[in-house]
C-alpha cells in the first residue's frame, strides 16, 4: 500500500478515487510514564516515554486507515493528514485520514 501526504504519486496515474478513509486510536497516559515525565520536566530534555506513546499511536492509526483502504480495494492512500485531540484528562485521540485511490504505472 502506497501512503503519501501528496495529492499525487510520481510515476503513477490515479484511475479511481474511492473516498475518505480514516483510522484512529485513543490512548491514555499511565501513572508510571507520568512520574518519569514529571522528573524529566524538572531536569529538561525529551520526554521519551511520551514520544514513544505518540509514535505507537500514530502507527496504529495509519494501520487502521490502510485496512479501511484495502477493504475498498485501494492500492494507495493520498493526501494523508493527522489530527490530534484531547478526549479527557490524560487521554488523546490520534486520527489519520486520506483519500483511498487505485493507481497504475504511467506507461
Contacts of 38 (CB under 8 A, 6+ apart): none
pTM for the whole structure: 0.85
Contacts of 91 (CB under 8 A, 6+ apart): 26, 27, 28, 29
User: What domains are there in the chain, each with its CATH number?
Assistant: 2-105 (3.30.110.70)
Residue labelled with grid coordinates 483510522:
23
10-31 pLDDT, tens per residue?
A: 999 999 999 999 999 998 766 5
Cβ atoms of 76 and 65 closer than 8 Å: no
70-106 pLDDT, tens per residue?
A: 999 999 999 999 999 988 777 889 999 999 999 999 9
Choose among 93, 76, 71: nearest CA to 84. 93
28-60 pLDDT, tens per residue?
A: 766 555 556 566 666 666 777 778 888 999 999
Amino acid at each position: 500500500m502506497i501512503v503519501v501526504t501528496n495529492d499525487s504519486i510520481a510515476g503513477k496515474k490515479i484511475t479511481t478515487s474511492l473516498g475518505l478513509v480514516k483510522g484512529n486510536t485513543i490512548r491514555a497516559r499511565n501513572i508510571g510514564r507520568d512520574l518519569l515525565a514529571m522528573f524529566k520536566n524538572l531536569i529538561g530534555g525529551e520526554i521519551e516515554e511520551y514520544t514513544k506513546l505518540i509514535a505507537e499511536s500514530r502507527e496504529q492509526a495509519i494501520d487502521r486507515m490502510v485496512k479501511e483502504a484495502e477493504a475498498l480495494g485501494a492500492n494507495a492512500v493520498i493526501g494523508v493528514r493527522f489530527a490530534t485531540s484531547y478526549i479527557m484528562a490524560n487521554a488523546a485521540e490520534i486520527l489519520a485520514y486520506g483519500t483511498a485511490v487505485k493507481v497504475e504505472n504511467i506507461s
